[in-house]
Amino acid sequence: MSLRYRPYDGAELPTHPSLPVWVLTPKEEQVIFERWRKKAFQRCDDLIRAYIDCSNLYNNPLEGIKKCKEANERSLGCVAKYQTMKYLDEEREIMIADKKLKRKIYLERLTAAQVEKQSE
């Protein structure tokens, strides 16, 4: 049996329609965290690649760490800049807006089904 990690990012996360849209489930919070982390690394990709390229120039890993300290500090500083509560809250707002849209679609389909059922 394989216990392989599968992110929820591509999965449909069902939420009970009677719950307010601002109530986030633990799975939704995990998706928000994964997106937040992924975006932070994407925004700093060029600095991270510069550090990797610098460290790959040396055969000895310890020498690479010592010689590329500035590049490493720049990449870590960039990631730390984007891994703040401000950006996490932005991801939460995106998730809530997505849930609002899904709820609106759900309610439209529900009323259409009720109208169709009554017309029969």
pLDDT at 50: 95
* 3-state secondary structure at position 13: coil
pLDDT at 74: 96
* Dihedral, 80, 83, 85, 91 alpha carbons, nearest 10: 160
pLDDT in tens, 49-58: 999 999 999 9
pLDDT in tens, 94-120: 999 988 888 888 889 889 988 988 887
pLDDT at 7: 52
Spacing of C-alpha 108 from chain mean position: 28
Show me where the domains of the chain are located: 26-93
pLDDT at 18: 72
pLDDT at 10: 58
Q: Are 71 and 50 in contact (CB under 8 A)?
A: yes
pLDDT in tens, 11-45: 566 666 677 878 888 888 999 999 999 999 999 99
